[in-house]
A and B are shown apart, each in its own frame.
Chain A
Amino acid sequence: MGRKLLLEKAHIPGIRSYEVYRREGGYASVEKALRMAPADVVEEVKKSGLRGRGGAGFPTGMKWSFLAKPEGVPRYLVCNADESEPGTFKDRYLMEFIPHLLIEGLIAASWALGSNRTYIYIRGEYAWIVDILEQAIVEANANGWLGKNILGTGFDCQIYVQRGAGAYICGEETALIESLEGKRGNPRIKPPFPAVKGLWDCPTVVNNVETLAAVVPILNIGGEEYAKIGVGRSTGTKLISACGNINKPGVYEIDMNISVEEFIYSDEYCGGIAHGKRLKACIPGGSSVPILPANLLLKTAKGETRMMHYEGLADGGFATGSMMGSGGFIVLDEDQCIVRHTLTLARFYRHESCGQCSPCREGTGWMEKILNKIEYGKGQLSDIDLLWDIQRKIEGNTICPLGDAAAWPVAAAIRHFRDEFEWHVNNPELSQQRNFGLAHYAEALTTV
């Protein structure tokens, strides 16, 4: 049984309310943080080795220490709750069941960064969670955790919840900032980075919900203690939202020291592949990270057991590895068609491209059309090479990472499942009749 830090108390009845949360030891980290100097809080987070949980995995402490601190200019902390990555729903769980944990983390982080106005940018579809968060903010205000002169330190802080209008791109930090300012959610061109010029051209830190919630246990148990959980540079616990063809989809908190095989097959987590089928492939970190076939998912190219942490999942680079991403663990069983799956993702990225820069605007649509053609039995073998060429020309050439996110799934699908694409092209009628691909990628596996 792994150690739980974030979801430890999530199932206590009434934990959503302030009274129960406080009785269970809530807001202790704020009390602790406000007695420390802000720089020491940042130092503590640095010591913990906490890495951004939104997808990129950038060390949070380092991000905080990059924040410019010019005189007379306000600084902002923005919580990125625009969780739109397909397959990722960990932040929803956290905010829905234990909202005060996020508020608590936000107050401590606001103190550390000197932010008097802190925003939660939440995706529009999470309408009911807005009410939950606002209720929590009202309660925190009423009990003196927010507002003026918190705990007599002279520190003022207020948290505002801002709803997005349901655009994937607004999860990109600069697009989020634009949207928060009331503009069209187009990503900005970096540099300058938000740490220098962010919200209303002021220094801004944008962190994921889970990252900010993790500040609470870090302060409670201490950064060094937190760093002992996990392996190497992957410290602490991580929420994984598992979905797809598994017996027990849901949000799991793992300490980053278990193997992928254990995560999929152990009854404590996913509980194996549904309906007794075999594992075919998996996207380990949300829709935009490369898909991995079963053999490469469970064992790395070197034959070692693949572990569920940043380095473990990234082992082998993009050639034979993937990424931790945001922790959206999507499992595909032997009956799933990779071409259809890739088409679904390509359609999503075409729909969500902001249309600002040309490779992404035109390339995502083109890839979708070609995949559509292959899926519906009208493809040619040259289309597969064309797809490869298009994704190569999108990747790395766009303003924001959405271009990469659109290119990687297509690239990985062709890299690992090229014969399935070819099968679709060569057997157009058959591929229409049975809408699943070739099953021979799946290896028969014993349950752990």
Chain B
Amino acid sequence: MKKILTVALAGCIVATGCFAFAGCSGGSDYEHTIVFYSSQGDDLSKVTDSAIKAFESKYPGWTVEHSQPGGYNEVLNKVRGDLTAGLQPDLAYCYADHVAQYIDTKTVVDMNKYLTSSESYTYTVGDNTKTIERIGFSEADKANFIEGYFNEGMAVNFGGHKAAGYEDDALLTLPFVKSTELLYYNPDALIELGEVDENGKAAPPTTWDKLWEICTKAKEKWPSCTPLGYDSDANWFITMAEQLGFGYTSADDDQHFLFNNENAAAWLEKVAGYYEDGYIITQSTYEGAYTSTLFVKGPENNGLVFCIGSSGGASNQAGTGFTTEVAPIPGSKLEDGTVNYSCISQGPSLVMLSGGHSVTNASEKEIMTFQFVKELLDVEFQAKFAKASGYNPMRTDVYDVDSYKLFLSGTDPDEGAPLEGKQLVVAKAANAAVELTDRFFVSPAFVGSSTARECVDTVMERVFANGMDPAEALRKAYKDCGGK
């Protein structure tokens, strides 16, 4: 009996041991495997699989290993840890301020040298020899890229790029897909409140003043509702800083943080009053949950009338008792009578890192990784991805792709039936976002730009939830960022 027990135990341990070590040995041939980290969920990674398949069949002998460590922060932490060990991926999702943390390792690839390179390249992997006609994008391709998205990746926007050996015009990141913020509204509620245009359709507010007016009405009609939900506290502050011109951050190394000023405090004071009256809910005051959860219920069920959220999260905004409509976010009327409609541009970019796993063919791998980037920025793939995610594509010709056109017009391109529910809201959001390209702004990236974001997020939370004096909250945040 005792022997059997011992044998069983030993067997058990050996088995777990085998499992453990089988689990951790990747055994990849890193010389010819492109490692790609993203924060895509299961649904989106299935879409990306099609780009991977296209790449692998086009370039036999090469494979792509796509892994998803988690959200953006997990990707950042993973890449940072990998850089320490020299195991960096070849390609990764990034926000600009992540790259600000990578550049001192000098592994970030300047993509300018490949972007429009007309050179050809021939590789041999085993029995496969293949010539790539043109490493870079064709001029025609490049003409379709939305120029505004590219500025973000310029080395000049990254603090310390000179020390790491990058020229000002080096291209450190490439835009992948972009999102902006949109006003999702409940048309039934607006009609009930009498906010209609000449056709009797619901008329969403185009300025903040108008929006607050409607909020007052809504609050009178449904006392237990919260008229406005804003999903991201920080985005609200940053957008208003742009619209009202009170300043948020700058790329200037001597004075990064501009938000600690009277105009910002005045605006905070105003919205804090609205919060006190129960007009507003934000993610931080809703226990970290997306306010779309409340929006979909409708105001009569203690929900919202308006919800401002990312165009990438459109599928969560599909109302349950009504059909969600989408509009651009309101603008701010300035003293000179003009209205500033600026809205934020966000979304993942791609960064290429060189020399991971100390491969001997680093430059060849860079070229091949760029070929994979080309697949990701391919017009058909961008259309597919934009459709599935609700993000905006980074090139204009996607809007000429038939399936995407159909989708935008509200028809399911695969089945030909009219879209409904979530898909319909995604299409509406994409439509609304198309119009906004000239309203986009990006805030500069530097080491500490994500800190600034977190700090203003806390400002909003403190002012709303704790009733802290706005000037005091701003001062505190300014100090937390490292401003003097």
| Chain A complexes with chain B | no
